[in-house]
Chain A
Amino acid sequence: MSLDDGLKSSNVSVQYTALKKLKNSIIGYEDVKLELVLTDLIPDLLNILAVGTEELQVESCVILASFASGNREVVSALLKYPVIPAVVRLFQPTAPNLHLPCLRVLCTLAKTNREFSVITQDSKLICTLSDILNYSSTPTLVVSYACSLICSLAFSKSSIRVLGGLAEPLTWQLHHLMRQYNKSSLSHIPLSVALLALAHIIPSQGAHSLLASRHHTSKPTGTIKNSLNGELFIDELLNLLRSDNAEIRLAAASLLASLQYYTTVPAQRDRLCNPLLPTLIPLLDESQNSVELFRVLAILCRDDIRLATLAVECDVIEKAAQVVFKADFRRWSNANVVAEALLLLAAIGLHQDSFRSIIIDKGVLKLVIKIMNLKVDRYHLMLRSDIKKVKVAACQVLRALSRSVNILRTSLTDVDIIDSIIDLLRQTPNKKINIDGVNSLANHESIGKSVKISSDQHEDDDEELDIKTSIMAAVCNLILDFSPLHTPIFEKGMIDLIIEDTYSSYSPLRLNSIWALTHAIYNIEAEQKVNILHKIGVRHLFELCYDQDIEIQEQALGFIRNFLCHHSLLHYLVDEVGADELFKLIEAKIKISKKHSYINILTSSIFILVHIATDEDHCNLIMQHQTILQMLVPLIVHSDPEVRTACVWLIINLTWTEVHGNAFKMQSLKSRAQVLVDLGFRRYLEERSRDLTLDVRERTKTALFQIDELMSL
């Protein structure tokens, strides 16, 4: 009987024998796998998964796992069939015997296929994983595979969001594993993989829960003998940093690095972070091939300049740079490690010039530009994702280095950099926001909805836009007026490319693009500002002010603020949409900022008014919008000094008297001052004349003086 007939047989024992035979013929034989995967064998296996007995299903999974561990051609052929949904369907809490075989298939495929994270959207999969983690009696091998799967799936925002739901059962499972490990009754593998899994998925709530709890974090169920004390849990993690096993030390450091990211208490951050570098840097000397090690170091260096300083003193820049220099850019064999090493350099370079200078002196910048320019040939299509990651990380290094006037003027002067950036921006086609049917500026909710829907639709494509997003972040710095590349950026037409990306469906790219434009109009001539405004369009700019992403709103308002800064250009903004629309926008932004304490939005909104008020003719426009003024009165005593400063400058500008003598004008100004007094500004300002912040105190004195002078007329 042929293999095919055996698999299709209605006799279970015949099928079982055929499966055994098939298994023995492919394990370890890549050529046989390729030959068989190209026949009609896989549908037979999937049929057995759907309707076979549990025994047959187990065997089929073992065979599929073997195919999944084959070379790229085998995997590619395998995935032409709906293998993943078939296995996920089988992976149920009610079928524990199938957990391990299913997990083996899923883990093997997930490690090589990023697109695989889509399975996190299957709620049954999450339920089964939760179930597995909920039992201390679950075999440790199953726990290991479950955690390994979680690690492999946790790389996109959407998958992490879903997997975050597993943080609590995983925390408890981890607690259980740590106790077993401490009793020396457990190997290091399940514990290290569980530590990594939690490090990669723990959501802020979960982290805060652990960080804040001195007692148990879960309600008693009557079945538990113990309770989870967050402080003791962290103590145990810290103890693991002294483990004999390097994998455990690194995994514990990963989780502690995640937790420190969420803590808001400096003493607690010190407690979590202080032992980490002494643990991690020796590991760097032992092995420079750990993706996780570089990433944890990058997180720590990014989040804390003290740790970045220590890392620099321990020669981490040299060690990371060596990994990049030794990279094989032909075969891309260690692309992931190279990407993480670059990311570590970027994280260190984020902070200060002395670090950036060391990075540049090591020759990293030249290599970064080279990486940005590398073309992906057809032989490397399978590695495209890895190569892309290296390019993204290289762009991040450029971005970090460009955060300095000194470096911009001394090291980032080569116009070829702009050509490389333009190439990268042109390589990736844009995906535009769907704003069909959204023509009315008044219809703000619709704008928001359309952006959101569009974002969700394209989330799976987001990775394609990561290079653009990263390079655009560097452009935000390179475009500033003091950068020697500022003029070439304008001359080479990059502004049009940036504007195009403000329409992207990918919000991080939209954010960086509008950020770049806000910087593009920093400290430039009025004519250039107007030119850019015309290109972006007032309507689109206003749409960005109502974007779903609060940081995009902030930058769009920053654009308006910068547009009006030092130049009386208000009419260019209001000609198209009308002054009322602008003031409606400002009112809405102040309102929402007051409600949610969006300090940067609030500050920019008020400074837009300050800049409008520098033109005497426009002051009356502000005075006509008393609702806004009423909202501003209590902000004079806002907790943020920048907000108070902005409010006081508005009053200074509204009551500024350029020349005495014109009786009519002075009476008009007096009336304006009276309105401000009636609204309560003077009373609040008097309180601020004792402000703890020197600048607010001093500017308040000026504002009060001007009001009183007008009132005494």
Chain B
Amino acid sequence: MPGQGQARDLPNTTTTVTGSTKAVNFKSPHLKNAVYSNEENDGGSQENNDGNNESNEHESDNHLSDTTDDDLVSTSNPFHCISTFLDHPRRPPHGLGSFLRPGSRYIGTQQSGRCTHEVEVEIKTIDPAAAIVSGYLRIQGLTQDHEILTTYFEGEIVSEKYSFFTRHADWGASEKTDLSHWSRFAPFRANQAQMRLKSYVHKDYLSQDQVYMRWKERFFVPDSNITAVEGASYAGFYYICFNQVSGNISGFYYHQRSEKYQQLELSHLPDSGNFYAIEFR
């Protein structure tokens, strides 16, 4: 082993001592984590965030993009500390526009034969990236024993992840029933030539006026253990067309043994931009 003062045969690493901490001078192309250490020390470089929206729209692919909250992830090695192991990366939920967010509420009706039932829907969670949504559906006067019945539903958004064709054998829908229901929505009919194709992939759904979904009720609320209520069933599912511009929702309930084309019509309850901050931990 070489003694003191002898030339090193591996490249001489430059060490700098800061307090009790030593840091090797790795030449980083972007020292993203500096924001975490001291708010006042590394400012001035982010001012360009104001403005020039158009150029920033496609920034997500840019390796050297500006520091954001998401960059706070890398403050420690991934092997570190299990109590904070799940903290990052965070996946903050952003609503689907102003009308489909956690806490968004809709009121309207469901037409069932000659009866019209008042319906209220409250969105509980939405994950636009995963194209899924969940919420409560309250229906009034469906049975005599239960004035209001509430179910929890989960929705899949027609997108690159979910096709117009229902891929759940246990939901009982065929391609024919899929198309017959989607075709009842006027905006679908306008573009149905391509949308009816099996190979069709519904891309960039967020930028389109209509968002198509399937809502499947899963269980009753508050008691999820109740499996049946006489006179009511959630065995089927809804084909949904949500208008992002107006906030209106149209839907048709489908179940093999239920009355066909029970229509759901809902309007967004104005909330003046009262949007809660919520993010699963």
Q: Could you list which residues of chain A lie within 8 angstroms of chain B, going by C-beta atoms?
A: 93-94, 96, 99, 121, 123, 126-127, 130, 133-139, 142, 154-157, 160-162, 164-169, 172-173, 176, 199-206, 208-209, 212, 217-221, 223-224, 228, 254, 257-258, 261-262, 264-265, 295, 298-299, 302-303, 339, 343, 346-347, 350, 352-353, 389, 392-393, 396, 399-400, 402-406, 409-410, 413, 465-467, 469-470, 473-474, 476-477, 480, 482, 484, 508, 512, 515-516, 518-519, 522-523, 550-551, 554, 558, 561-562, 565-566, 592, 594-601, 604, 607, 610-611, 614, 634-635, 637-639, 641-642, 644-646, 649-650, 652-653, 656, 691-695, 698-699
Contacts and interface: CB of A to CB of B under 8 A. Distances in A.
B10 A596 contact: no
A222 B12 CA distance: 10
B98 interface: yes
Interface in B62-106: 63, 66-69, 72, 74, 76-87, 89, 92, 94, 97-99, 103
A223 B281 contact: no
A217 B8 CA distance: 17
Interface stretch (B45-53, B137-145, B163-171, B194-202): B45-53
Given A164-B77, A202-B77, A695-B98, 18 more contacts: A127-B22, A164-B23, A167-B26, A201-B77, A203-B77, A204-B31, A258-B77, A347-B86, A403-B281, A405-B152, A409-B221, A508-B83, A516-B281, A522-B277, A597-B68, A634-B50, A637-B52, A653-B273
Contact of B20 (A121, A134, A200, A399): A121
B15 A130 contact: yes
24 contacts: A94-B4, A127-B22, A136-B10, A139-B1, A154-B80, A157-B80, A169-B24, A176-B10, A204-B33, A208-B29, A209-B26, A209-B27, A258-B78, A396-B85, A405-B124, A476-B280, A508-B87, A561-B277, A562-B277, A562-B278, A637-B50, A644-B53, A649-B275, A694-B97
Given A165-B21, A299-B78, A595 B59 contact: no
B113 interface: no
A484 B47 contact: no
Given A205-B31, A396-B82, A691 B53 contact: yes
Question: Interface SS of chain B: helix, strand, loop or mixed?
Answer: loop
Nearest to B70: A599
A400 B82 CA distance: 13
A139 B2 CA distance: 11
A224 B13 CA distance: 12
B46 A639 contact: no
Nearest to A395: B83
Nearest to A216: B11
Contacts of A352: 130
B280 A403 contact: yes
B260 to A, nearest CB: 28
Given A167-B24, A399-B86, A482-B124, A154 B77 contact: yes
Contacts of A474: 281
Contacts of B17: 123
Interface string B237-271: 00000001100000000000000000000000001
B231 interface: no
Given A160-B76, A265-B63, A410 B224 contact: yes
A123 B20 CA distance: 6
A208 B103 CA distance: 40
B227 interface: no
B247 to A, nearest CB: 9
Contacts of B275: 565, 607, 610, 649
B24 to A, nearest CB: 4
A346 B77 contact: no
B15 A156 contact: no
A465 B81 CA distance: 12
A277 to B, nearest CB: 16
B175 interface: no
Interface of B: 1-4, 7-15, 17, 20-33, 35-36, 39, 42-44, 46-47, 49-54, 56-57, 59, 63, 66-69, 72, 74, 76-87, 89, 92, 94, 97-99, 103, 124-125, 130, 134, 136, 152, 154, 206-209, 218-219, 221-222, 224, 244-245, 271-278, 280-281
Contacts of A206: 24, 26
Given A138-B1, A601-B69, A604-B277, A466 B81 contact: yes
Most chain A beta-carbon neighbours within 10 Å: one of B7, B57, B85: B85
A645 B98 contact: yes
Given A637-B52, A644-B53, A596 B35 contact: yes
B21 to A, nearest CB: 5
A93 B4 contact: yes
Nearest to B281: A476
B86 A137 contact: no
A269 to B, nearest CB: 12
B13 A136 contact: no
B47 A172 contact: no
B81 A205 contact: no
Nearest to B6: A135
A473 B281 contact: yes
Contact of A638 (B44, B50, B74, B278): B50
B121 to A, nearest CB: 14
B84 A592 contact: no
A96 B1 contact: yes
Contacts of B57: 639, 692
B9 A217 contact: no
A694 B206 contact: yes
Contacts of A402: 280
Contact of B32 (A204, A350, A477, A482): A204
A695 B12 contact: no
Nearest to A390: B82
A347 B221 CA distance: 29
Contact of B12 (A221, A607, A649): A221
Given A208-B28, A523-B276, A169 B13 contact: yes
A453 B274 CA distance: 38
A340 to B, nearest CB: 8
A550 B12 contact: no
Nearest to A206: B26
Contact of A698 (B14, B69, B218, B244): B244
A592 B39 contact: yes
Nearest to B65: A264
Given A409-B219, A562-B276, A645-B98, A638 B49 contact: yes
B246 to A, nearest CB: 9
B29 to A, nearest CB: 5
Contacts of B9: 135-137, 223-224
Nearest to A479: B281
Nearest to A122: B20
Contact of B79 (A138, A220, A295): A295
A649 B97 CA distance: 12
Contacts of A224: 9-11
B152 A409 contact: yes
A250 to B, nearest CB: 13
Nearest to A400: B86
Contacts of A644: 53
Contacts of A346: 85-86
B28 A209 contact: yes
A174 to B, nearest CB: 10
Most chain B beta-carbon neighbours within 10 Å: one of A176, A257, A393, A638: A638
Nearest to A263: B63
Contacts of A155: 80-81
B23 A134 contact: no
Contact of A160 (B49, B77, B89, B124): B77
A597 B281 contact: no
A206 B57 CA distance: 30
Given A154-B77, A204-B74, A508-B83, A638 B53 contact: yes
A166 B21 CA distance: 11
A694 B207 contact: yes
